[in-house]
Structure 1
Amino acid sequence: MTTQPIRAALYVRVSTTRQAEADLSIPDQVKQLTAYCERKGWQVAETYIEPGASALDDDRPVFQDMIAAATSVAHPYDHVVVHSLSRFSRDVLDSALYGRKLEKAGVSLVSITQEVGDDANGKLIRTILNAFDEHSSRENAKHTHRAMMENARQGFWNGSRPPFGYALAVKERRGTKDKKVLVINEDEAQTVRLIFDLYLGRHGKPLGLKAICTHLNWRGITRRGHAWGIGSLQDLMTSSTYCGRHLFNRTESRTGRQRPDAECVEMAVPAIISEEVYLQVRAALHDRSPRKTPPRVVNGPTMLASVARCAHCGAAMILNTGKGHRYYACSSHAKKGKTVCKGQRIRMDRLDDMVMEYLGSKVFDPDRLEQALKSYMDAHETGTAIRREQLRQMRARRGDVDAARARLFGMVETGAVEAHDPMLKERLDQMKLQAADLDSQIAALQDDLLSGVPTITPEKIRLLAAQMRERLRTGPPELRQAYMRLLLNSVVVGAEEICLSGSNAVLERLAAQGVSASASEVITFARKWRPGRDSNP
């Protein structure tokens, strides 16, 4: 009768990829484990090698494969052999759990440098050794993390791959170590600037995240060899690194959890974009979020989506179909019945044409538009007194913003607000953007006072009237729809009349800045079908 040899599986692990790349520890472990099995007369059935994996958790693919094979019905191994118990696991709970799984499957865990028995005393010693391994590993991690935090405070990079748009350069040498810092990779930085410009509409109409991905991928502009995706693009656009403020220790490496700002170290790095551009994009991302403004509102087939209202109950008018036509219909009537609202219903093309015709012939009639903006022009003609008062008010509002920021910082100092409260950071970002906007308005008023030239002139008003009538008459549907949302606060549809309301402030801004400058405030989402004309010609 032939006796089946005792079979063993070898498990070899190192903690970091740097150790694995050095190719020293792994061959030495394999050599020692193989020699041990030969001395015991055991047959090595399989060797499992896990490079660059921490033993503080069980998220190790090779380790899981070994456990699955060892505990299978086939029972391919009698022993799992490791160099030391710390190679198997440095977590007491995981070590006990997986050790119990092996034991139930009839497989013993053997350490060639820490041989303990399988009796009660041996199990106790093994538990104590595991506890020491876990404590030692966590202490080492704590000291390493503290050193990395100090390295970041001094402005040096900690060894991970630099963000897209940057490269590493050696700044100085300390002992045997090169201390590196981030420098701008100009080739990648051009792509970063292009992304922010496309989102803000500096090369035409603003593009959304998906449209920017399509734009980049179609032109072969990759992210270090990889195609752009919405997730990677949003991570880039929300990273403060690109405006010169890199946050080290932002996420927990094992869990991916976002740490509060109080636990981060802010490093000064070369800026690829200005902080003003970064804040503008952050604000636009917030405003364009589907949670705040669903894409169907802007991108759907209804020209007056979110603008048209029922005169009877005030509910929104939604798309309704019937008899081969599209209609605007009262949403309350459609969803709750005629007991709530008797309902208003009007053909979509008819209402759209009436609104467009009214805007073109009435609102943007040059004489009527000049009359609507007469108060602004009269204010300029009365002299500099009013503009100086406006400037004083703007400066007062700017001072109020600074005072509000000071109060927030005071609340942090007294402990009324936590420094790492996410609402605090969001509020401070809003204040920065508000301050930048006020500074821009103050600068415009100062230039106006110095030059004596009015911001709005009759020539600008007539140019605006001509441009807007042309856009409303022949512009693409998404642009016309966007201008509807910008110009109109509401279109109230009644049985006998339709009431349009809007703000003169929008007209003033368009007249002062020009139509093209307002495009970024108009377009939010842009539908792109067949952007490369690669199918269905």
Structure 2
Amino acid sequence: MRVAIYIRVSTDMQAEEGFSIEGQRSRLISFAESQDWVIHDFYVDDGYSAKDLKRPDMQRMLEDMEKKLFDVVLVYKLDRLTRSVGDLHSLLKTFDLYGVKFKSATEIFETTTAMGRFFITLVGAMAEWERGTISERVRFGVEQMVAEGRRPGGVVPYGYTQDEQLIPEEAALIREVRDLYMSGKGYKSVAMIMNRSGKLRRGREWTDATVAYTLENPYYAGIIRIGSKTPAGTYVNSKRDERVKCVYGKGSHEPIFTQEEYEELKKYMKRKSQGGFSKVGEYWFSGVLRCGRCGAAMFGRLTTKRTTTKGIVRTQYYICSNRHHSKTCDLPIFRQTHIEHLVFQYINQIQEDMEKLNEEAMKIFADEGKKKSAIDSAKRELSKVAERREKWQYMFVEGLIGKQEIRKRMAEEDKREKEIRQRIAQEQKAFSGIPRIEELVGLAEGWAYFDDQEKKEIIHTVFDKIVVNTDLRKIKGVKNKFFDAYIQEISFN
């Protein structure tokens, strides 16, 4: 019987716990020899999480399975294969389809009977539950740290060192940005003035998005915040699309603004965003929005006037140009608020999960034909850094390490991440398809304070193309509600 041996290690810590690549390899070779199996090949994913099947050698193994190059898949433990019940079901169906058996060297599974399938699914569910429990525990611990005024790690905002020490010259630039904005300048004008005077942001130009993010960020007023603010003013955990509490705490770092100055700034931003209305700018996504069915541009229109208790109301919507002009497309009409919802849902996912951002980056590299082996390696290292951060946070929450130790560890991980990202930038000279994370954060945090023209300008600054689609053909009974739809593709400037 021909056997495919699958090996996975996601972190250096697992290597220390006995799950190293060579450790798994030697034990699986011994097991295969004890069964008189012929080893077809080794499929090794080093530095990949089991949260999904997007792993190079996992995909190579599935391709070889379609070619019927082996008869059984052998792993050291089930969680080396996957930690997702959904992916487990999918794999078992695929194994059945090609007549391939599955075997764990350390667990007893029988996949040919209903009871055996139930048992292996139960074990898979336990692995998925374990992963979710750790994430929830870490989230709770991080929220508690913020409520107590302790920063949970990560990249410190511009203006401070990683030890949260104020950098005077950068603080002066931040105050100048505030003064320019309070004098009546818009975000884009502030960015242009700062750039033209050579007052850059650590060597990078200011944008309207980074200006908005800087002005809105409560950290500069001595406040720590965890949570992702949507345009509607609610705070959403995008992984589950549930509303969650946004936690604030008074930080121990030296603020740049007083809380009174910050509140004054927020009121001014809100007042400015509500003043005036430009018909030119009221269609925020015109020029970048595309139909997911035919690829044509979508343009904005207003509904007919209707009288409500608030007066005469007209609603912005977008329609596919092929549907409007030649009736050759049947994509439903999208309200502007629906497009806004879908775009920020996409942005929230990027903000919440940096690993997803890395995967999207690598996907775009592949689409542009610029993917390199060095970038692949760097991406795996970034994944390791993210998982180590989660481990340190978990250990701190559990009281296994102290405050000084976690600060030291998080600083080390931040340094590693910076070095890795610098390597990626050097390898990929044409790195133009991914927005800077500050731009996306600034777009999400400052959106409620933009006026119509600024919203249109910033959409065109950040995005090159936004493709929307839905599986529905006719929309009925969904007045004032969002129907099922999705962002099919986004590309960035």
**Structure 2 length normalisation: TM-score?**
0.45
Compare CA radii of gyration and give the structure with the larger one: 1
Q: State the TM-score, normalized to the length of structure 1.
A: 0.42
Q: With CA pairs under 8 Å and 6+ residues apart, which has the higher RCO, 1 or 2?
A: 2
